[in-house]
Chain A
Amino acid sequence: MSEPLSKIPNGTRYYFGREARLRRSVEQIVMSVFDGWSYEEITTPTVDYYSLFEHGMGRSQAHRAFRFTDTDGRLLALRPDVTSGVARAAVTIFADRDRPLRLCYAAPVFRQQPQSHVEWRRESTQTGCELIGANTSVADMEVLAIASEILQKLGLGHTYQITLNDVGIFKGIAAHQALDEVSRDELRQLVDSRNAVDVERFLADQEFAPEERHALAQLTQLSGKRETLEGARRVMLNAGSKEALDRLDRLWSMIVSLDLEDRFEIDLGDVARLDYYTGLTFNIYVNGAAARVGNGGRYDGLTAAFGKAEPAVGFVLDLDALTAVLLALEVDTRLPKESERQMSLVTNSDPTLLFCEARKKRAEGERVLITL
């Protein structure tokens, strides 16, 4: 049976009218903020070797990509993320540039398997930035401040919430307990879904020491402000966790001094991708979106796969999710419908005069519509 040509593949869609214009303006706002912080735009290849993404994102994430073979038999993929390509560029094209390196992008990414039930799209637009070659709390704060400015500029200043964590806290506990990889991932999943009941059961089975049990129970607790760090500090005594808590504490002090603490939370249970991140991790939520609209963190191991280890921190925003939120907020307000937009009609039976008049109006900045 042949498929009708009118069919569109699952997880893809058209954008047009008001939504397309809004999406474009969101992209412009985001990119102008990156530019304002001296981030240079970079575009990575849409088609690239699958192995790039396997190294850049980790196998489990890269697996989601659309894959196909090149003429020489090598495996290619449609770009499932931009960061991998940026990391390779950092150690190749930009090898001799002064550090830190500041790069930003806005580009569609493709995933054959969608991220989750909510994230049904297989093509989505990512916009983000990478700060490569700096490993300080100030660098971490820089990208958080940029994220914060973007949300402010998009008119979401009062509705966003950024949750912070440092993967060093969980890794410290796992290392202290000498968990093997399988158990560590099981525990990570339980903590990540705040499944306190099964965390308890897991700890009992693994014969954790009482102080470590307290430490882990702490991770599944509700998020909060500085008191969350203080609470954690009392029960987490291993060196790795303590160091990570110190890093978060320095960052929190900066957030407070910038008067941003209403918009930030510390959420020690966010341990979604342990192998990718090496320090700070964060998720961005806004009212009106059922899932996070952005996320980021520090991945000091990222460029190592491409030949040279460099510290890096960055984040990505889901442009389409942000557009959907803004569209819902603005349905009856700012953006006029396509049919309601101002335009000036140009009519003339003589094509020369027609285009003379149209070009004159265009030169004056008017929006013209030629009557054909």
Chain B
Amino acid sequence: MQNLTIAVAKGRLQTEALDLLARAGLSVSSAMLSSRRLAVEDESGRYRLIFVKPGDVPIYVEHGIADCGVVGRDVLLESEADILQPLSLGIGRCRMVVAAPSETPLSGYRALRVATKYPRVTARHFGSRGLSVEIIQLSGSVEVAPQLGLADCIVDLVETGTTLRENGLRIVEVIAESTARLVINRASYQLKAEAVGHLIDSLSEIVDQGEQT
């Protein structure tokens, strides 16, 4: 079977993703993982893992540098990468939401200012409503923008909702549910069909077991 390179999103998903991959038969020694190397091989030599920023996973996969990747659906929605996403891995569950401080319905604004790390998702979401929206792209701590007067509302990812509450925001709309996805390069899907098929099968078996328990 052909060798596969898998890009894993660093951060929020990394530990769970590695655990899942380990159960699917990718054994990476803990010494390797605790090192700061960003590209490691598994013990069988059949898989190479690369650790990159979540937003870069679709880029590596679309360019075929990685055959596969593990990344949140939120990132995929924003990247608009032309890649395959055959499997939901059931980890990293969260929601992409619109959150605002007051009870005022969003349609009450003449021009809405939205702070977000996800400008494309935001533009798509509001685009069809005839609302004039000013998108303010931030790189973090988006929740604080409304109370400081930078924006009327935010589009962001929410896991538990605690950060939102502590910053006086409530969820107005849910744009999408997000879980981690297995993504695959279109050419690898055809040219490395056997190896890719094997990985999809092993992972989907584990995901199914997870859902039953």
Residues of A within 8 A of B (CB): 116-118, 159, 161, 163, 193-197, 220, 222-223, 265, 267, 283, 285-287, 289-292
Contacts and interface: CB of A to CB of B under 8 A. Distances in A.
29 contacts: A116-B82, A117-B81, A117-B82, A118-B64, A159-B191, A161-B190, A193-B84, A194-B86, A194-B189, A195-B84, A197-B85, A197-B181, A222-B193, A222-B196, A222-B200, A223-B189, A267-B190, A283-B190, A285-B187, A285-B190, A285-B191, A287-B191, A289-B64, A289-B187, A290-B185, A291-B64, A291-B82, A291-B187, A292-B187
Contacts of A291: 64, 82, 186-187
B59 to A, nearest CB: 7
Nearest to B2: A287
Interface residues of B, number: 25
Given A118-B63, A290-B185, A292-B187, A220 B86 contact: yes
Interface in B54-96: 59, 62-65, 81-88
A159 B186 CA distance: 15
Nearest to A222: B197
B64 A290 contact: yes
Contact of B62 (A159, A283, A289, A290): A290
B176 to A, nearest CB: 10
Nearest to A197: B88
Looking at chain B's contact residues, the main secondary structure is mixed
A163 B184 CA distance: 16
A116 B81 CA distance: 8
A194 B190 contact: no
A292 to B, nearest CB: 7
Nearest to A272: B82
Nearest to B82: A116
Contacts of B190: 161, 163, 223, 265, 267, 283, 285
Contacts of A196: 86-87
A265 B81 CA distance: 24
A118 B65 CA distance: 11
B154 to A, nearest CB: 25
Contacts of A117: 59, 62-63, 81-82
Contacts of B83: 193
Nearest to B83: A193
A267 B62 CA distance: 19
Given A223-B190, A265-B190, A291-B187, A193 B85 contact: yes
Contacts of B186: 285, 291-292
